[in-house]
Structure 1
Amino acid sequence: MKNIIITGTSRGIGFEMVKIFSEAGQNVLALSRNSKPISDLKLKNVTALEFDIADESEIVKLSAYIQKGMKTVDVVINNAGFLVNKPFSEITSEEFKRSYDVNVFGVASLTKTVLPFMKKDGHVINISSMGGIQGSVKFPGLSAYSSSKGAIITLTELLAEEYKETGPSFNVLALGSVQTEMLEEAFPGFKAPLSATEMAQYIVDFSLSGNKFYNGKILQVSSTTP
C-alpha cells in the first residue's frame, strides 16, 4: 500500500483518480476546497480534507496531518487548477493572481511541505496543459491559465534537477482536452476526445511506475493534433 496525496479531488480527473486508487488498495489523502463529493463515497483507505491550496495556513495544517496520519508520502499529484476564459483586456488582476496562486505558488508550497516526508523513490506529478507547451496551439482567453501552466512546467524541470541525487522524481503531464466540468464551464458545448475517467487511469498508472523511466520530463498527453 502506497500513500498518495491528490489535490483538486471534488470533481473531474482528481475525483476519478481517488476512486481508482482506492479500488487498487492504495491509501489516499484527497485535498479539495469541497471535500463532500469524496466523503460521501465512503471509500476504503481514503481521507478527504477541506483544503485550499492557495491558502498558506492550510499548508501548515497539511504538514501536521502527514506527521500524525501518514508518516511518509510516496506519490503527490498536483492536480488542482484554476481556469478563467476571458479576453486579456477583461481579466481582472485578482483573476490573474488567482491563476498563479493555485496553478503555481500553491503547488510550490504544497510540494515544499511534503518533500521531507518523501523518499528517493517517491514521485511528484504536476498536471499542466498543452496550452503551456511552447509551440503548441494557443487559445485566446487563456492568457492567465496557459501562462501559469507554462510556469509549472519549468518549475518541475528545476526541481527534478535540484533533487536528482536525493529524490523524489518530478515529472509533468501536459494534458490535452478532457471532458470535465472545468472544460464545460470554460468552453460550453465543446466535446473532448477523452473522458475524465480515461485520463485519470492514465495518470494513476504513470504515478506508480513513471518515475522508473522519467525524471524532469514533460509528457504531452493529448490524442489530438496539433
Structure 2
Amino acid sequence: SRRPQTKSPQARHSWKGTAPACTIGRLPCRPGREPEMSLGASSAFLRVVTEVGEADPKWRMLRSYILADGATPGTASGEAGQHPAAARCEAARRLINNHNDVLDDICNESDCKNIVGEALTQTELCRVPAAYRPQVDAMLRETARRLWGKNPSPEAFSLWQCLEETAEGVGVAEEEGRAVWRAVAVYLSGRLQTTPDQKSPSAALLEGHRTRLHYRPPAV
C-alpha cells in the first residue's frame, strides 16, 4: 500500500488503521509457513511502520519527552500543579501508552459494542462524534503535556512549548473546539475507573460536571 499524499486527519486515520494492521497479520511466523524475516528484523519493522502510521507525529514527540530514560516530571501549573509529581507522572505515561484506545473509546459511535466488540457499558455517558477525532486527540495530548509539566533545560522547555495544543488549533473555530474539549472532560470524568468498587456516576454528578464546564454538546 502507498501512503496517502494528503495530510488530512481523515487520511492519517485511514493509514493508521490499515497499513500496520495488514503487515502485523502477515509478518509473524504461523504453523506451516516460513517466517517473512527474523524475529529481530520483524520487531524493528513493526515498530517503525506503526510509528510512521501514527495518527499525529506529536504523540511521538510527547513520548520522546515523557518516556525517555531518566525523564522526570517538570513544574506544573493550574490544576496539575495541585498534584504530586509521582501522580502526574503515572497519569501522563498511562495516557500516552494507551492514547489510541482512549481516543477510540471517546469517539466510539456504536450504540451497542465497545472498541473490542463486547457489549457497551456506561451507556449513560455521551461519547463524542467521530468527526471530532482530531480535536479529541489534541485535547488528550494537551492533557498529557500539562500533567508532565515543563522542565528547566532549554531543549526540554522548547519542546514543551512546541507541543502546546489549543481548542481552536485543529481546524475548527474556538467555540466549537472548546465544546469538544468540554465534552471529552465530561465523558472521562464519568468513565475513569479509580477504585475497584466504583459505580457508574449518577445523573446528578454528571450534570454537575457539565455545569462546571459550561457544557454544551458539540454540533455533529
The normalised TM-score by structure 2 is 0.26
Higher normalized strand content (fraction of residues) = 1
Higher-Rg structure is 2
Higher normalized helix content (fraction of residues) = 2
The normalised TM-score by structure 1 is 0.25
